[in-house]
Amino acid sequence: MTSQDHIYRTLRNRVIFLEYPPGRILNEKVLAEEFGVSRTPLREVLNRLEWEKLVRIIPRTGTMVTEIELPKVRNAFQVRFEIEKLAAFMAAQRITDEQIEQIDVVKDECANLMSEKEPKRLVDIDFKFRDIIYAAAGNDILRDISDHLYHLTVRVWYMVFNRVQWESEVQSFLEEIAATAAVLRRRNPPEAAQLRHDYLVKFVERIKDLF
């Protein structure tokens, strides 16, 4: 039997990576058969995804993948600006040499994508990068809030990959990772917070230009 956490991550990723496009109705019976579980644990996963606003449960109809509503995405980014600053501030206070080395590994993975257009891998690298920062910050509540907001916004990034200049997008992310690693090495919380905020603002401006 598949664990609920595995089912959650699988369905979440299908939504994030647009394998389940906005507006799609999910069939509980088919999903329960796919994962080899009863409908009860599946519904608990769907309830969690609904709380995260990735799906909407419609009585007598089913579970629908939510539309990407740009006003809500904008509001989520406004909160993310502050959340990411706080996470970077706390990470700079607590980060270990081992965690900085982990960021260097992520940077190398990102550099390897310069000549390979694999959007899903680039988002996976962003997951890893954020995981290291939030592990260093050491606040699970902050991480849960950030993950919720991130999942609301990352679909927009993935959606526009076919419109961006791939090498430029990878280069921008590579520079962000390198700059973040450098400031974290200096253990300078205010500088780390401002850097994280500024790169997120630049990211949002790039996305806005594509709309």
pLDDT band at 8 (very low <50, low <70, confident <90, very high): very high
74 within 8 A of 80, measured Cβ to Cβ: no
Give residue 63's pLDDT: 94
Residue with tokens 């579970």: 63
Helix (H/G/I), strand (E/B), else coil: 74: helix
Tens-digit pLDDT profile for residues 11-66: 999 999 999 999 999 999 999 999 999 988 999 999 999 999 999 999 888 899 99
* Residue 164 pLDDT greater than 80, yes or no: yes
Question: What is the dihedral angle through the alpha carbons of 139, 140, 146, 151, rounded to the nearest 10 degrees?
Answer: 160
Give bridge partners of residue 25 from the DSSP assignment: 64
* Residue 1 pLDDT greater than 60, yes or no: no
